[in-house]
Structure 1
Amino acid sequence: MLRMGRASATAGVLRFVRAFALCVATACLLLAAGMPSPVAAQDPSKLSLQYYSKTCPNVEHVVRTEMECAVRADTRNAALMLRLHFHDCFVQGCDGSVLLDDTATMIGEKQAEQNVNSLKGFDLVDKIKEKLEAECPGTVSCADLLAIAARDAVVLVGGPYWDVPVGRLDSKKASLDLANSDIPTAQQGLLTLIAKFWEKGLDATDMVALVGSHTIGFARCENFRDRIYGDFEMTSKYNPSSEAYLSKLKEVCPRDGGDDNISAMDSHTSDVFDNAYFETLIKGEGLLNSDQAMWSSIAGYSTSDTVNKYWADPEAFFKQFSDSMVKMGNITNPAGGEVRKTCRFVNT
């Protein structure tokens, strides 16, 4: 459960609950009236499985070959590519904007709070893009590259396969402001997370499945210090039976310093994409506050049953994860764009 804290904090939570309930009620009225949700206005209809069938038929082979090499060299590369795709889609849609470097006139999304010290894998993207440009110049977008590479990353560490619709365009700009506001953070609780996913057209079931990607990868000490020391007002509590695990985390992440020290988000099988992550939540051992929030309830909202389901039935998790990845990948940028020659800069 989430810890409520002082009376003033409780009042603040209640105000947010009322605002969130009003938001949900408004969305229900819009849907009942046949009006589109905010994301529905973005048109993913141009995406298809055959988009490159004539212009670059070997696109998936090229990406898969490079991803196999990268994951064989370091399994953590799988989580890096999956995270890049997620952070890309949550800002302006899946448009490759997260890959843009800063310029004299633009500060890119790489400088956002959730990206600046922990988002990696850009060199691997550059390598894959170079191979694609040699195979079929000016054809495959960086946004599609990320979508395909994320799928291959999951498969290569034991996760499910899904067909990736393609045809996205690369944005000509990035948004630092949206990156700072729209990407979920490690400290946020259940209601805030539900709201952030809903804004992208993703429901609570999608959210739990997608957060299940934390079955692979690592987090920096800076992002879980509040949880292990209980310094954050709304931080969920560790299960007392997890004292040994908690002590180990405190060795990795001291109260002062060590921000860049890392710990696996799935303490059981960090290099395999499976459903073991959900067991850590049931045991109260979610590394991030946002992880443990999946095993909580507040103001009538609960995702604990979904966590239980995915821990009991790995096939159900794999299917929903695949479906939710396609759904997230269908969030396109209505502003359109181009096919960048290099993923770090717009075409000149």
Structure 2
Amino acid sequence: MKYFLREGERSINMRLRKTVVLALVLLSIVAVGDARLRVNFYASTCPDVESIVRQTVEAKISETIITIASTLRLFFHDCFVEGCDASVLIFSPTGDAEKDAGENQSLAGDGFDTVARAKAAVEDACPGVVSCADVLAIAARDVVVAAGGPGFPVELGRLDGLVSAKGNVAGNLPEPTLNLNQLIAIFRKNNLSTTDIIALSGAHTVGAAHCVHFSNRLQSDPIDPTLNPDYAQELLQECPANADPDAVVQLDPATPFTFDNAYYRNLINGKGLLTSDQVLFTDSISKPTVLKFAKSQSSFFKAFTAAMIKLGRTGVKTGTQGEIRTDCSRFN
């Protein structure tokens, strides 16, 4: 009995040590971050902001599960163009804002609605204090947690940008047909490494893609040889040549609504839906990291949280560079 108690104590102590180490790593990442951002930025001005956003996010997810992927994707698309400044949320009556660009036409309305609801709830509690950019950053973390993914500290203190231009989008978002070198070039603009690319791509463990974004792999002759043959036939059934333009396929055929490392196992099995997914396994530079994340979910979670924190520092607006919008879809 004493032996088993000692073994149990060792197991508990080991888990505690791992938890402490991960916490210290995340805190060190935050500590060396953008000086304009900090955890608990609203501690004195809106102390309940994170719980308010979380409750709104959870309520929205209970209505529709696609809230998870659409909110997370909205954060990515915002940060990659003009930085994390909520510029993608702006509505333009003339159709010339970021969200009007062709690259953003596939953004689901549920993400926009999630942020709008959360911002309204925050405004009720703390009017004119919390930016839309910060609300989106918190919501992006919360949908990951709600899907079973890792929690992490969100640095806050962003202002909302004063520019949202359709013409600024081209060339700044990773396209589904890119190879690894092209992905590296896009991510490098935001100070993100190859490991960050592979970790953030793991967000494709949730969500779906329109047939048009991968039909080139199916309609070629021969069919893309990096596709698992059985998987390719399944995709052809769901996305024939005359497929409905609105038809979508889950990015992760294994666990489409759970944030886990199944995405990387899919890549190993030739079941990466997009070219930009499967290339992470077929390219020798990124393949070892894919294998690592497929084997260890904790390694993936650690890398993903680090990459999300780094991404959240992109293009931060302060001072006269931005404002705190009352309505996220309109400049003040």
Q: TM-score under structure 2 normalisation?
A: 0.86
Name which of 86, 103, 109 aligns with 1:114.
103
CA contact (8 A) 1:110 1:119 kept: no
Q: Which moved more, 1:177-186 or 1:275-284?
A: 177-186
Q: Determine if the alignment matches structure 1 residue 276 to structure 2 residue 262.
A: yes
Q: Show CA shifts across 1:136-175 (max 9, x none).
A: 0011111001100000000001000000000000011113
Name which of 338, 341, 346 aligns with 2:323.
338
Match of 2:192 in 1: 202
- Give the Cα–Cα distance (whole angstroms) in 2 for the partners of residues 119 and 215 of structure 1: 17
Q: Show CA shifts across 1:300-342 (max 9, x none).
A: x610001000000110000010010000001124572000000
- Give the Cα–Cα distance (whole angstroms) in 1 for the partners of residues 80 and 225 of structure 2: 28
- Give the Cα–Cα distance (whole angstroms) in 1 for the partners of residues 224 and 310 of structure 2: 29
CA contact (8 A) 1:190 1:296 kept: no
Q: Determine if the alignment matches structure 1 residue 288 to structure 2 residue 274.
A: yes
Match of 1:22 in 2: none
- Give the Cα–Cα distance (whole angstroms) in 1 for the partners of residues 325 and 100 of structure 2: 21
Match of 1:323 in 2: 306
Distance of aligned partners of 1:180 and 1:224 in 2 relative to their CA distance in 1, 3 Å threshold: same
Name which of 227, 238, 262 aligns with 2:226.
238
The one-letter code of the counterpart of 1:70 is: K
What is the deviation of 1:73?
2.2
Alignment length, in residue pairs? Answer: 297
The one-letter code of the counterpart of 1:322 is: T
- Give the Cα–Cα distance (whole angstroms) in 1 for the partners of residues 69 and 328 of structure 2: 19
Q: Determine if the alignment matches structure 1 residue 302 to structure 2 residue 285.
A: yes
Match of 1:313 in 2: 296
- Give the Cα–Cα distance (whole angstroms) in 2 for the partners of residues 163 and 215 of structure 1: 21
What is the deviation of 1:82?
0.5
CA contact (8 A) 1:253 1:259 kept: no
What is the deviation of 1:81?
0.6
CA contact (8 A) 1:236 1:292 kept: no
Q: Show CA shifts across 1:228-272 (max 9, x none).
A: 22379xx95334xx3322122112111124221011100000000
Q: Determine if the alignment matches structure 1 residue 258 to structure 2 residue 248.
A: no
Instruction: Quote the sequence identity (%).
Output: 39
Match of 1:75 in 2: 65
- Give the Cα–Cα distance (whole angstroms) in 1 for the partners of residues 107 and 53 of structure 2: 23
- Give the Cα–Cα distance (whole angstroms) in 2 for the partners of residues 166 and 98 of structure 1: 18
Distance of aligned partners of 1:128 and 1:85 in 2 relative to their CA distance in 1, 3 Å threshold: same
RMSD value, Cα: 1.8
Q: Show CA shifts across 1:29-77 (max 9, x none).
A: xxxxxxxxxxxxxx93110112100110010010000111112222221
- Give the Cα–Cα distance (whole angstroms) in 1 for the partners of residues 34 and 115 of structure 2: 23
The one-letter code of the counterpart of 1:341 is: T
- Give the Cα–Cα distance (whole angstroms) in 2 for the partners of residues 344 and 263 of structure 1: 29
Q: Determine if the alignment matches structure 1 residue 168 to structure 2 residue 158.
A: yes
| SS of corresponding position for 1:260 | coil
- Give the Cα–Cα distance (whole angstroms) in 1 for the partners of residues 159 and 312 of structure 2: 12
Q: Determine if the alignment matches structure 1 residue 86 to structure 2 residue 76.
A: yes
CA contact (8 A) 1:236 1:289 kept: no
Match of 1:221 in 2: 211
- Give the Cα–Cα distance (whole angstroms) in 1 for the partners of residues 74 and 221 of structure 2: 29
Q: Which runs of 5+ in 1 are unaligned?
A: 1-42
CA contact (8 A) 1:222 1:260 kept: no
| SS of corresponding position for 2:294 | helix
- Give the Cα–Cα distance (whole angstroms) in 1 for the partners of residues 42 and 224 of structure 2: 46
Match of 1:21 in 2: none
What is the deviation of 1:189?
1.1
- Give the Cα–Cα distance (whole angstroms) in 2 for the partners of residues 165 and 225 of structure 1: 39
CA contact (8 A) 1:228 1:238 kept: no
| SS of corresponding position for 2:151 | coil
CA contact (8 A) 2:218 2:224 kept: no
| SS of corresponding position for 1:102 | coil
| SS of corresponding position for 2:323 | coil
CA contact (8 A) 1:98 1:108 kept: yes
Q: TM-score under structure 1 normalisation?
A: 0.82
- Give the Cα–Cα distance (whole angstroms) in 1 for the partners of residues 117 and 153 of structure 2: 23
What is the deviation of 1:184?
0.5
